[in-house]
Amino acid sequence: MAKSGRPPLEGIRVVDFSRVIAGPMCTQILSDMGAEVIKIENPDGGDDTRKGAGPRAGGESHFFMTYNRGKKSVALDFTKPEGQAVVHKLLAGADVMVENFRPGVLKKYGFDYASTHEKYPRLICLSISAYGQTGPLSDRPGYDPVLQAESGMMSVNGEANGEGLRHAIAIVDTMTAIHSVAAINAALFARTGTGRGQHVDLALYDTALVSLGNMGSYYLIGGEQPRRAGNGHFASAPNSSFETSNGKIYMAVANQKLFTDTAKALGHPEWVADPRFATVADRVANKPELTRLMEEVLKTDTKENWAHKLRHLPAGPIRTMKEALDEPEVRRRGMLKTYHHSTAGDVPIIGSNYHFSDTPVDDTRPPPALGEHTDQVLRDLAGLGAAEIAALREKKVIA
Protein backbone atom coordinates (compact mmCIF):
# COMPACT_ATOMS: atom_id res chain seq x y z
CA MET A 1 0.00 0.00 0.00
CA ALA A 2 1.34 3.43 -0.93
CA LYS A 3 1.93 5.94 1.83
CA SER A 4 -0.42 8.89 2.06
CA GLY A 5 2.60 11.20 1.90
CA ARG A 6 1.01 13.58 4.39
CA PRO A 7 2.91 14.07 7.64
CA PRO A 8 0.74 13.34 10.71
CA LEU A 9 0.46 16.96 11.93
CA GLU A 10 -0.10 18.60 8.56
CA GLY A 11 -2.51 21.51 9.02
CA ILE A 12 -1.44 22.28 12.60
CA ARG A 13 0.09 25.71 13.14
CA VAL A 14 2.45 26.46 16.03
CA VAL A 15 3.58 29.89 17.24
CA ASP A 16 6.92 29.28 18.91
CA PHE A 17 8.41 31.72 21.41
CA SER A 18 10.98 29.24 22.74
CA ARG A 19 14.76 29.42 22.69
CA VAL A 20 17.81 27.21 23.31
CA ILE A 21 17.00 23.45 23.63
CA ALA A 22 13.84 22.12 25.31
CA GLY A 23 11.29 24.29 23.50
CA PRO A 24 13.05 24.37 20.11
CA MET A 25 13.59 20.60 20.14
CA CYS A 26 9.89 20.13 20.89
CA THR A 27 8.80 22.39 18.03
CA GLN A 28 11.35 20.85 15.65
CA ILE A 29 9.76 17.44 16.26
CA LEU A 30 6.34 19.01 15.63
CA SER A 31 7.73 20.50 12.41
CA ASP A 32 9.11 17.11 11.34
CA MET A 33 5.61 15.76 11.93
CA GLY A 34 4.22 18.30 9.50
CA ALA A 35 3.19 21.22 11.71
CA GLU A 36 3.82 24.74 10.43
CA VAL A 37 6.08 26.28 13.08
CA ILE A 38 6.37 30.08 13.22
CA LYS A 39 9.47 30.88 15.29
CA ILE A 40 9.26 34.34 16.86
CA GLU A 41 12.80 35.67 17.35
CA ASN A 42 14.32 38.79 18.80
CA PRO A 43 15.38 40.95 15.83
CA ASP A 44 18.61 41.67 17.71
CA GLY A 45 20.44 38.38 17.27
CA GLY A 46 17.59 35.91 17.43
CA ASP A 47 17.66 32.66 19.37
CA ASP A 48 20.53 32.62 21.89
CA THR A 49 22.03 29.55 20.21
CA ARG A 50 22.64 31.41 16.94
CA LYS A 51 25.63 32.92 18.74
CA GLY A 52 26.80 29.58 20.15
CA ALA A 53 30.45 28.54 20.17
CA GLY A 54 31.85 25.63 18.22
CA PRO A 55 31.56 24.59 14.56
CA ARG A 56 29.60 26.78 12.17
CA ALA A 57 28.25 26.07 8.71
CA GLY A 58 27.59 28.92 6.32
CA GLY A 59 27.92 31.32 9.25
CA GLU A 60 25.25 29.52 11.29
CA SER A 61 25.90 27.86 14.63
CA HIS A 62 25.79 24.06 14.72
CA PHE A 63 23.86 24.44 17.98
CA PHE A 64 21.04 26.43 16.36
CA MET A 65 21.00 24.09 13.38
CA THR A 66 20.51 21.09 15.65
CA TYR A 67 17.10 22.15 17.01
CA ASN A 68 15.43 24.41 14.44
CA ARG A 69 15.04 22.68 11.09
CA GLY A 70 11.87 23.16 9.11
CA LYS A 71 10.69 26.30 10.92
CA LYS A 72 9.77 29.77 9.67
CA SER A 73 11.66 32.59 11.37
CA VAL A 74 9.92 35.89 12.09
CA ALA A 75 12.20 38.56 13.52
CA LEU A 76 9.70 40.49 15.66
CA ASP A 77 9.93 42.62 18.78
CA PHE A 78 6.77 41.67 20.66
CA THR A 79 7.60 43.98 23.56
CA LYS A 80 6.33 46.86 21.39
CA PRO A 81 2.58 47.39 20.95
CA GLU A 82 2.83 47.08 17.18
CA GLY A 83 4.62 43.76 17.58
CA GLN A 84 1.97 42.53 20.00
CA ALA A 85 -0.71 43.31 17.47
CA VAL A 86 1.07 41.13 14.92
CA VAL A 87 1.40 38.25 17.40
CA HIS A 88 -2.33 38.40 18.08
CA LYS A 89 -3.02 38.07 14.37
CA LEU A 90 -0.82 34.98 14.29
CA LEU A 91 -2.36 33.44 17.41
CA ALA A 92 -5.84 33.88 15.95
CA GLY A 93 -4.99 31.26 13.32
CA ALA A 94 -2.77 29.03 15.46
CA ASP A 95 -3.43 25.71 17.16
CA VAL A 96 -0.50 25.70 19.58
CA MET A 97 1.71 28.24 21.32
CA VAL A 98 5.00 27.14 22.90
CA GLU A 99 7.06 29.34 25.23
CA ASN A 100 9.87 28.93 27.74
CA PHE A 101 10.14 32.33 29.36
CA ARG A 102 10.23 32.67 33.12
CA PRO A 103 6.70 32.52 34.55
CA GLY A 104 5.05 35.94 34.38
CA VAL A 105 7.11 37.39 31.53
CA LEU A 106 4.47 36.92 28.83
CA LYS A 107 1.73 38.23 31.11
CA LYS A 108 3.24 41.71 30.77
CA TYR A 109 2.49 41.59 27.07
CA GLY A 110 -0.89 39.88 27.19
CA PHE A 111 0.28 36.46 26.01
CA ASP A 112 -0.19 34.48 29.23
CA TYR A 113 -2.66 31.59 29.14
CA ALA A 114 -5.49 33.43 30.92
CA SER A 115 -5.38 36.23 28.34
CA THR A 116 -4.93 34.08 25.26
CA HIS A 117 -7.54 31.48 26.28
CA GLU A 118 -10.17 34.16 26.56
CA LYS A 119 -9.43 35.41 23.04
CA TYR A 120 -8.54 32.08 21.41
CA PRO A 121 -10.33 29.29 23.29
CA ARG A 122 -9.08 26.54 20.95
CA LEU A 123 -5.43 27.50 21.40
CA ILE A 124 -3.21 25.04 23.28
CA CYS A 125 -0.51 26.81 25.27
CA LEU A 126 2.54 24.90 26.45
CA SER A 127 4.87 26.55 28.94
CA ILE A 128 8.30 25.13 29.71
CA SER A 129 10.02 26.52 32.78
CA ALA A 130 12.64 25.43 35.27
CA TYR A 131 10.43 24.89 38.32
CA GLY A 132 6.87 25.26 37.05
CA GLN A 133 4.40 28.12 36.74
CA THR A 134 3.54 28.23 40.46
CA GLY A 135 5.32 27.90 43.77
CA PRO A 136 8.18 29.64 45.57
CA LEU A 137 10.82 28.50 43.05
CA SER A 138 8.89 29.52 39.94
CA ASP A 139 10.91 32.71 39.42
CA ARG A 140 14.27 30.93 39.38
CA PRO A 141 16.20 30.46 36.13
CA GLY A 142 17.07 26.89 35.32
CA TYR A 143 19.84 25.20 33.37
CA ASP A 144 20.12 21.52 32.62
CA PRO A 145 23.22 20.71 34.75
CA VAL A 146 21.73 22.48 37.78
CA LEU A 147 18.53 20.46 37.42
CA GLN A 148 20.59 17.28 37.17
CA ALA A 149 22.25 18.27 40.44
CA GLU A 150 19.11 19.28 42.32
CA SER A 151 16.97 16.33 41.23
CA GLY A 152 19.37 13.67 42.48
CA MET A 153 20.45 12.59 38.99
CA MET A 154 24.09 13.46 39.61
CA SER A 155 24.13 11.54 42.88
CA VAL A 156 23.74 8.21 41.05
CA ASN A 157 26.06 9.00 38.12
CA GLY A 158 29.83 8.61 38.38
CA GLU A 159 32.49 6.28 39.71
CA ALA A 160 31.76 4.40 42.93
CA ASN A 161 34.40 6.26 44.92
CA GLY A 162 34.20 9.55 43.05
CA GLU A 163 31.89 12.52 43.00
CA GLY A 164 28.52 12.62 41.30
CA LEU A 165 28.75 13.57 37.64
CA ARG A 166 26.41 15.35 35.26
CA HIS A 167 25.40 13.73 31.99
CA ALA A 168 27.32 15.40 29.15
CA ILE A 169 24.18 15.60 27.00
CA ALA A 170 21.49 18.09 28.05
CA ILE A 171 19.40 15.14 29.15
CA VAL A 172 16.77 17.04 31.17
CA ASP A 173 16.14 19.48 28.31
CA THR A 174 15.96 16.60 25.84
CA MET A 175 13.49 14.57 27.89
CA THR A 176 11.38 17.66 28.57
CA ALA A 177 11.19 18.28 24.82
CA ILE A 178 9.97 14.74 24.20
CA HIS A 179 7.40 15.00 27.01
CA SER A 180 6.30 18.32 25.49
CA VAL A 181 5.57 16.70 22.15
CA ALA A 182 3.54 13.98 23.87
CA ALA A 183 1.61 16.57 25.89
CA ILE A 184 0.81 18.71 22.84
CA ASN A 185 -0.41 15.75 20.83
CA ALA A 186 -2.55 14.62 23.78
CA ALA A 187 -4.02 18.12 24.10
CA LEU A 188 -4.75 18.23 20.36
CA PHE A 189 -6.55 14.90 20.66
CA ALA A 190 -8.50 16.11 23.70
CA ARG A 191 -9.57 19.19 21.74
CA THR A 192 -11.27 17.01 19.16
CA GLY A 193 -13.74 16.06 21.90
CA THR A 194 -13.96 19.22 24.00
CA GLY A 195 -13.46 21.87 21.33
CA ARG A 196 -11.21 23.69 23.81
CA GLY A 197 -7.52 24.29 24.14
CA GLN A 198 -5.75 24.12 27.47
CA HIS A 199 -2.58 25.07 29.29
CA VAL A 200 0.25 22.57 29.73
CA ASP A 201 2.73 23.38 32.51
CA LEU A 202 5.98 21.43 32.05
CA ALA A 203 8.86 21.97 34.46
CA LEU A 204 12.41 20.80 33.86
CA TYR A 205 12.55 19.95 37.56
CA ASP A 206 9.50 17.70 37.35
CA THR A 207 10.88 15.98 34.26
CA ALA A 208 14.18 15.32 36.00
CA LEU A 209 12.34 13.77 38.95
CA VAL A 210 10.20 11.56 36.70
CA SER A 211 13.38 10.46 34.92
CA LEU A 212 14.84 9.06 38.14
CA GLY A 213 12.68 6.02 37.39
CA ASN A 214 13.59 2.93 39.40
CA MET A 215 16.41 4.85 41.11
CA GLY A 216 13.81 7.09 42.73
CA SER A 217 11.72 4.08 43.70
CA TYR A 218 14.81 2.40 45.16
CA TYR A 219 15.03 5.24 47.68
CA LEU A 220 11.29 5.72 48.26
CA ILE A 221 10.66 2.04 48.91
CA GLY A 222 14.00 0.99 50.41
CA GLY A 223 14.97 4.20 52.16
CA GLU A 224 18.58 4.06 50.93
CA GLN A 225 20.59 6.10 48.47
CA PRO A 226 21.37 4.09 45.29
CA ARG A 227 25.12 3.67 45.01
CA ARG A 228 27.18 5.01 42.13
CA ALA A 229 28.81 2.28 40.09
CA GLY A 230 30.59 4.04 37.23
CA ASN A 231 30.07 2.04 34.06
CA GLY A 232 28.81 -0.88 36.11
CA HIS A 233 25.61 -1.47 38.04
CA PHE A 234 25.41 -1.57 41.80
CA ALA A 235 22.93 -4.46 41.85
CA SER A 236 23.76 -6.45 38.71
CA ALA A 237 26.76 -8.29 37.23
CA PRO A 238 28.23 -8.72 34.72
CA ASN A 239 26.86 -5.34 33.73
CA SER A 240 29.74 -3.07 32.79
CA SER A 241 32.45 -2.27 30.26
CA PHE A 242 35.09 -4.90 29.51
CA GLU A 243 38.48 -4.71 27.79
CA THR A 244 39.01 -6.40 24.44
CA SER A 245 42.17 -6.43 22.33
CA ASN A 246 41.48 -2.98 20.85
CA GLY A 247 39.08 -1.17 23.16
CA LYS A 248 36.09 -1.76 25.34
CA ILE A 249 32.79 -3.51 24.88
CA TYR A 250 29.74 -3.02 27.07
CA MET A 251 27.75 -6.00 28.30
CA ALA A 252 24.47 -5.81 30.22
CA VAL A 253 23.84 -9.35 31.46
CA ALA A 254 20.76 -8.70 33.54
CA ASN A 255 19.34 -12.15 34.35
CA GLN A 256 20.24 -15.80 34.86
CA LYS A 257 19.47 -16.95 31.31
CA LEU A 258 21.61 -14.20 29.84
CA PHE A 259 24.49 -15.17 32.13
CA THR A 260 24.17 -18.79 31.05
CA ASP A 261 24.20 -17.74 27.39
CA THR A 262 27.15 -15.39 27.98
CA ALA A 263 29.21 -18.07 29.72
CA LYS A 264 28.60 -20.45 26.80
CA ALA A 265 29.40 -17.77 24.22
CA LEU A 266 32.72 -17.04 25.94
CA GLY A 267 33.58 -20.73 26.03
CA HIS A 268 33.17 -21.23 29.78
CA PRO A 269 29.82 -22.86 30.54
CA GLU A 270 31.27 -24.05 33.84
CA TRP A 271 30.94 -20.49 35.20
CA VAL A 272 27.22 -21.07 35.59
CA ALA A 273 27.80 -23.84 38.19
CA ASP A 274 30.61 -21.98 39.97
CA PRO A 275 29.27 -21.05 43.45
CA ARG A 276 30.95 -17.66 43.16
CA PHE A 277 28.69 -16.82 40.21
CA ALA A 278 25.58 -18.92 40.84
CA THR A 279 23.18 -16.01 41.46
CA VAL A 280 23.04 -12.30 40.71
CA ALA A 281 23.98 -11.58 44.33
CA ASP A 282 26.96 -13.95 44.08
CA ARG A 283 28.13 -12.30 40.87
CA VAL A 284 27.84 -8.83 42.39
CA ALA A 285 29.82 -9.98 45.46
CA ASN A 286 32.54 -11.50 43.26
CA LYS A 287 32.49 -8.92 40.49
CA PRO A 288 36.30 -8.34 40.33
CA GLU A 289 37.03 -12.04 39.83
CA LEU A 290 34.26 -12.44 37.26
CA THR A 291 35.51 -9.39 35.39
CA ARG A 292 39.07 -10.77 35.38
CA LEU A 293 37.94 -14.09 33.95
CA MET A 294 35.76 -12.51 31.29
CA GLU A 295 38.47 -10.08 30.18
CA GLU A 296 40.98 -12.92 29.81
CA VAL A 297 38.70 -14.24 27.08
CA LEU A 298 37.58 -10.91 25.63
CA LYS A 299 41.16 -9.65 25.21
CA THR A 300 41.79 -12.41 22.66
CA ASP A 301 39.78 -10.58 19.97
CA THR A 302 38.63 -7.12 18.87
CA LYS A 303 35.55 -5.28 20.07
CA GLU A 304 34.12 -5.42 16.55
CA ASN A 305 34.51 -9.19 16.31
CA TRP A 306 33.08 -9.70 19.77
CA ALA A 307 30.09 -7.55 18.86
CA HIS A 308 29.45 -9.93 15.96
CA LYS A 309 30.02 -13.08 18.03
CA LEU A 310 27.78 -11.82 20.84
CA ARG A 311 25.08 -10.28 18.65
CA HIS A 312 22.41 -12.49 20.26
CA LEU A 313 23.33 -10.99 23.64
CA PRO A 314 23.05 -7.43 25.02
CA ALA A 315 26.62 -6.48 24.17
CA GLY A 316 28.12 -3.79 21.99
CA PRO A 317 31.36 -1.89 21.38
CA ILE A 318 31.94 1.44 23.09
CA ARG A 319 32.32 3.73 20.11
CA THR A 320 33.65 7.20 19.47
CA MET A 321 31.32 9.69 17.83
CA LYS A 322 32.99 8.96 14.48
CA GLU A 323 32.66 5.20 14.92
CA ALA A 324 29.02 5.53 15.97
CA LEU A 325 27.93 7.80 13.12
CA ASP A 326 29.99 5.95 10.50
CA GLU A 327 28.32 2.66 11.45
CA PRO A 328 26.49 1.29 8.35
CA GLU A 329 23.38 0.47 10.38
CA VAL A 330 22.90 4.21 11.05
CA ARG A 331 22.44 4.78 7.32
CA ARG A 332 20.40 1.64 6.87
CA ARG A 333 17.97 2.98 9.44
CA GLY A 334 17.79 6.26 7.53
CA MET A 335 19.13 8.24 10.48
CA LEU A 336 21.78 10.22 8.57
CA LYS A 337 20.33 12.71 6.14
CA THR A 338 21.16 16.09 4.63
CA TYR A 339 19.32 19.32 4.12
CA HIS A 340 20.25 22.13 1.77
CA HIS A 341 20.97 25.31 3.71
CA SER A 342 20.83 28.71 2.04
CA THR A 343 24.41 29.63 2.98
CA ALA A 344 26.03 26.36 4.03
CA GLY A 345 24.89 24.18 1.15
CA ASP A 346 24.31 20.50 1.94
CA VAL A 347 24.58 19.90 5.67
CA PRO A 348 24.69 16.39 7.23
CA ILE A 349 22.21 15.83 10.05
CA ILE A 350 20.87 13.18 12.35
CA GLY A 351 17.30 12.82 11.14
CA SER A 352 14.07 12.03 12.93
CA ASN A 353 13.71 8.73 14.77
CA TYR A 354 9.98 8.57 13.98
CA HIS A 355 9.16 6.03 11.28
CA PHE A 356 5.44 6.14 10.47
CA SER A 357 4.18 3.57 7.98
CA ASP A 358 1.55 5.84 6.37
CA THR A 359 2.31 9.44 7.37
CA PRO A 360 6.08 9.92 7.01
CA VAL A 361 7.86 12.79 8.73
CA ASP A 362 9.47 15.63 6.78
CA ASP A 363 12.85 16.14 8.43
CA THR A 364 15.06 17.48 5.63
CA ARG A 365 13.97 21.13 5.54
CA PRO A 366 16.75 23.44 6.73
CA PRO A 367 16.66 25.78 9.72
CA PRO A 368 15.80 29.36 8.82
CA ALA A 369 18.02 32.41 8.67
CA LEU A 370 17.03 35.05 11.21
CA GLY A 371 13.91 36.77 9.90
CA GLU A 372 13.95 34.75 6.68
CA HIS A 373 10.15 34.41 6.66
CA THR A 374 9.14 37.67 8.32
CA ASP A 375 7.58 39.26 5.26
CA GLN A 376 5.97 36.04 4.03
CA VAL A 377 4.34 35.25 7.38
CA LEU A 378 3.16 38.80 7.99
CA ARG A 379 1.71 38.96 4.51
CA ASP A 380 0.18 35.49 4.21
CA LEU A 381 -0.76 34.69 7.81
CA ALA A 382 -1.17 38.07 9.51
CA GLY A 383 -2.80 39.71 6.47
CA LEU A 384 -0.53 42.78 6.40
CA GLY A 385 0.08 44.78 3.23
CA ALA A 386 3.45 45.90 1.90
CA ALA A 387 3.05 49.39 3.34
CA GLU A 388 2.21 48.06 6.79
CA ILE A 389 5.21 45.73 6.74
CA ALA A 390 7.48 48.57 5.64
CA ALA A 391 6.16 50.77 8.47
CA LEU A 392 6.91 48.05 11.04
CA ARG A 393 10.43 47.73 9.68
CA GLU A 394 10.90 51.49 9.81
CA LYS A 395 9.94 51.44 13.51
CA LYS A 396 12.33 48.50 14.08
CA VAL A 397 9.48 46.26 15.22
CA ILE A 398 10.63 43.71 12.64
CA ALA A 399 13.92 43.01 10.96
DSSP code of residue 48: G
Cβ within 8 Å of residue 240, ≥6 positions away: 229, 230, 231, 232, 233, 250, 251, 287, 291
Catalytic residue among 173, 206, 261, 301: 173
What's CA 161's distance to the chain center, in Å?
A: 30
| Residue 64 contacts residue 341 (beta carbons within 8 Å) | no
| Residue 69 contacts residue 31 (beta carbons within 8 Å) | yes
Neighbours of 346 (CB within 10 A): 11
The amino acid at 145 = P
Measured CA distances, 47 to 36, 122, 270, 288, 367 (Å):
18, 27, 60, 50, 12
Residue 284's φ and ψ, nearest 5 degrees, are -65, -45
**What is the rounded CA–CA span in Å between residue 146 and residue 166?**
9
**What is the rounded CA–CA span in Å between residue 22 and residue 3?**
31
* Run of H or E including 350: strand 345-350
Measured CA distances, 27 to 24, 200, 212, 253 (Å):
5, 14, 25, 38
Catalytic, 173? Answer yes
| Residue 226 contacts residue 156 (beta carbons within 8 Å) | yes
**What is the rounded CA–CA span in Å between residue 226 and residue 219?**
7
Catalytic residue ranges: 173
